[in-house]
Amino acid sequence: MELNSMYEDELRGFFENKGEKPFRGSQLFTFFHDKKRYDIENSNLSDGAISIIKNEEINKVKIFKSFDSKLDETKKFIFKLKDENLIEGVLMEYKHGYSQCISTQVGCRMGCDFCASTKSGLVRNLTAAEMLSEVYEIENRLNIKVSNFILMGSGEPLDNFQEVMRFIKLLHDERGHNTSYRNITISTCGIADKIYELADYNLPINLAISLHQTNDFDRSALMPINRKFNLAELKKSLKYYVNKTNNRITFEYTLIKNQNDGKKNIEELYNFAKNLKCHINLIPLNPIDEFDEKRPSKLEINEFKDKLEKIGFNVTIRRELGRDISASCGQLRRKVEVK
Ligand code: SF4
């Protein structure tokens, strides 16, 4: 395993097994995750400890390109991986601090019809070390501390479950980045069997479900995962999740004109979500070349929101950030690759 994907106790064990003092593992852990550095030769490790890890793997991403929105404070980053693959990251600045969107895989195999990240399928999973270095590279470049993380870049986080859990725990470690679990959101298309597993970790993180349709026929056409775990299966897993964790779920609902913005959708949404502790986040569709659909008007979006509120839901409309730099899921990576 890459050294910078290891927990502190694993690094301590690693050095102990090589006949070194375990505290060298703690030194290396804080060098990676508190100081956010990789230049081991300049660390406070002894020469002996440095020679032990000289040939071990340390993995990181590099900022390849960055784009600043002229409309708001959003920035997009393209990271290059060691194997030359590209992934994306988005940084948003809010009054309460910085929020970063993290990629968890190169590409994605989930096949959602509206998403550019999946058009070439899954290339590979990212390691915890690579995900952490998405954070550290941006923080080091801009000299900032990011406080909120959303796993909503390219990839399906629950399809890379073990590495994503490792990433989250390392990010939370108080001797590392020290991020509160409450400031981490996992966004999934609805892999129900993994939602049970996530529930059993019982972490106070946020879980967001990309719902986007309200009945099995239409959702299966838009999101192939629904053919494996239909809405009834998904709901069962979410009930289990809420019972186990007492966390509130967020449903992400992209509004597509004449596709999922009708009266029938309100009724179906009510039947699906009425007994779940949840919040609905409406997202006006950001069109991409490969998905030829339109968004409803501002008035229609507000009416949809009002109707949901009237039947008792807690609803928000996602603020649009970085529209001029294609800040929605997967779009930028694709544009860079096709050039
Ligand atoms: S929306 Fe998310 S889960 Fe669906 S294809 Fe895109 S990256 Fe994958």
pLDDT, mean of residues 77-85: 96
pLDDT at residue 324, as a whole number: 63
pLDDT band at 290 (very low <50, low <70, confident <90, very high): low
Chain mean pLDDT for the chain: 91
The rounded Å distance from CA 41 to ligand 1 centre is 40
CA of 282 to the centre of ligand 1 (A): 17
Q: What is the pLDDT of residue 291?
A: 67
The answer, yes or no, to whether residue 330 has pLDDT greater than 70, is: no
Which has more confidence, 7 or 71?
7
The pLDDT value given to residue 329: 47
Best residue among 104, 117, 188, 234 to mutate for probing ligand 1, ranked by most atoms within 8 Å of CB: 117
Distance 272 CA to ligand 1 centre (A): 22
DSSP-derived 3-state class of residue 4: helix
Residue 296 has pLDDT above 90, yes or no: no
Mutation pick for ligand 1 pocket among 101, 103, 115, 125 (CB with most ligand atoms within 8 Å): 115
Report the atom number in ligand 1 closest to the C-alpha of 188. Answer: 3
Give the confidence band of 51 by pLDDT, cuts at 50, 70, 90.
very high
Which of 58-62, 172-176, 182-186, 318-322 is predicted with the least confidence, judged by mean pLDDT? 318-322
pLDDT for 328 beyond 70 = no
Ligand 1 nearest atom to the CA of residue 152, by list position: 2
- Determine the pLDDT at residue 327: 58
How far apart are the CA of 259 and the centre of ligand 1, in A? Answer: 19
Q: Which residues are catalytic?
A: 88, 329
* Interval 226-238 mean pLDDT: 98
Beta bridge mates, 99: 92, 148
DSSP 49-94: HHHHHTTS-----EEEEEEE-SSSS-EEEEEEPTTS-EEEEEEEEE
Q: Could you tell me if 8 and 25 are in contact, meaning their C-beta atoms sit under 8 angstroms apart? A: yes
Choose the weakest-confidence range: 91-100, 103-112, 190-199, 319-328: 319-328
Q: Is the pLDDT of residue 339 over 50?
A: no
Answer yes or no: is pLDDT of 325 > 70.
no
Nearest ligand 1 atom, CA 187: 2
What average pLDDT does the segment 314-331 reach? 67
Q: How large is the average pLDDT for residues 198-218?
A: 96
The upper half-sphere exposure of residue 302, i.e. CA atoms within 13 Å in the direction of its Cβ, equals 3
Q: Which of 37-46, 57-66, 274-283, 311-320 has the lowest mean pLDDT?
A: 311-320
pLDDT at 119: 83
Beta bridge partners of 97: 94
What pLDDT was estimated at residue 167? 98
Task: Answer with the residue of higher pLDDT: 294 or 98.
Answer: 98
Mean pLDDT over 207-222 rounds to 96
In the sheet that holds 62-68, the strands lie side by side as 62-68, 75-80, 86-94, 97-101, 146-151, 184-188, 206-210, 249-255, 278-284, 315-317
Q: What structural domains and CATH numbers belong to the chain?
A: 3-53 (1.10.150), 62-338 (3.20.20.70)
Report whether pLDDT(332) > 60: no
Position 337 scores a pLDDT of: 42
The ligand 1 atom at the shortest distance from the C-alpha of residue 156 is 3
> Ligand 1 pocket: which residues have CB below 6 Å?
108, 110, 112, 115, 117-118, 154-156, 189, 210, 329-330
Q: How far is the CA of 40 from the centre of ligand 1 (A)?
A: 36
